[in-house]
Amino acid sequence: MVTEYKLVIAVRKDLDLGKGKIAAQVAHAAVHCALQAEKNDKQNFRKWTDQGQRKIVIRVDGLQDLYRLKEEAERKGLINSLITDAGKTQVEPETVTCLGIGPADAEILDLITGEFSLL
Amino acid sequence: MVTEYKLVIAVRKDLDLGKGKIAAQVAHAAVHCALQAEKNDKQNFRKWTDQGQRKIVIRVDGLQDLYRLKEEAERKGLINSLITDAGKTQVEPETVTCLGIGPADAEILDLITGEFSLL
């Protein structure tokens, strides 16, 4: 069976962000993770790119979930990127909005993020 | 005055996509543009990165707007990436969902995208 690769981005639903704002925050996380992987995790990056750069956006209840997910991602040695918004619109300055994890083997990611629903 | 750099992502509002779907499509465009710029437009890429990788998400009425924006971006020599969704959920296969333009000088981008509203 072919191993699937994906990048998961977890978004806080408690902030109740507008869809344009969410999209920009998720894009920040995706770009950060992709650039990190390209530099430091070339093998996963290439496989993910060959498979079309699959991205999955999930929702979490709040900040604590993002911190917990980040901790678990680091424990597994996965690339991750926590995004803090400058907060000029919609949220207070320095609000943590989302977390990107990967790109990585989808099965390993599912161990961490599988419990959460799609946004 | 410091030149501002940004990446603009235009999203079709006629598809009426859910917010998670929009976020993933916008992230596709942003990652494609960022990786292209990193390779082929190093100067703009570096300036954009130094300024925090600003991303702006706008909405357009439909497909024709994306094609027109793409044409104008290419006429100005700007990096751009048109995103086509595989269409397993929410849209028909091979649906063009959004377009990323840049990163580039914000003033040049505004000449093309300035007429559109934020998503």
* ipTM confidence score: 0.95
Tell me: pLDDT of B86 over 90: no
User: What pLDDT is attached to residue A2?
Assistant: 86
Chain A partners within 8 Å of B25 (Cβ): 23
**Mean pLDDT computed over B68-96:** 92
What whole-number distance in Å separates Cα of residue A9 and Cα of residue A100?
4
Chain A partners within 8 Å of B58 (Cβ): 20
Q: Judge: A118–B52 Cβ closer than 8 Å, yes or no.
A: no
Tell me: pLDDT of B63 over 90: yes
Tell me: pLDDT of B87 over 80: no
- Write the burial class of residue B60 (CB in 10 Å: 0-12 exposed, 13-18 middle, 19+ buried): buried
Asked if A82 contacts A99 with a C-beta cutoff of 8 angstroms, the reply is: yes
Asked if B60 contacts B12 with a C-beta cutoff of 8 angstroms, the reply is: yes
Counting as low any pLDDT under 70, the low residues of chain A are none
Q: What pTM does this model have?
A: 0.96
Does residue B83 sit in helix, strand or coil? strand
Q: Domain limits of chain B? A: 5-113
How many beta-carbon contacts under 8 Å exist across A and B? Answer: 86
Q: Which of A6, A11, A12, A19 is the best mutation test for B, with the most CBs of B within 10 A?
A: A19
User: What pLDDT is attached to residue A78?
Assistant: 97
Work out the mean pLDDT of chain B and round it to a whole number. 95
- Asked if B99 reaches chain A (Cβ–Cβ under 8 Å), the answer is no
Asked if B113 contacts B73 with a C-beta cutoff of 8 angstroms, the reply is: no
Put simply, the chain B residues between 68 and 87 with a CB less than 8 A from any chain A CB are 86
Chain A partners within 8 Å of B22 (Cβ): 19, 22-23
Asked if B94 contacts B51 with a C-beta cutoff of 8 angstroms, the reply is: no
Does residue A47 sit in helix, strand or coil? helix
Confidence of residue B91 (pLDDT cuts 50, 70, 90): confident
Architecture, CATH, for domain B5-113: 3-Layer(aba) Sandwich (3.40)
Render pLDDT for B19-61 as a digit per residue (tens, 0 to 9). Answer: 999 999 999 999 999 999 999 999 999 999 999 999 999 999 9
Q: Give the closest of A34, A59, A119 to B31, CB-based.
A: A34
- Asked if A29 reaches chain B (Cβ–Cβ under 8 Å), the answer is yes
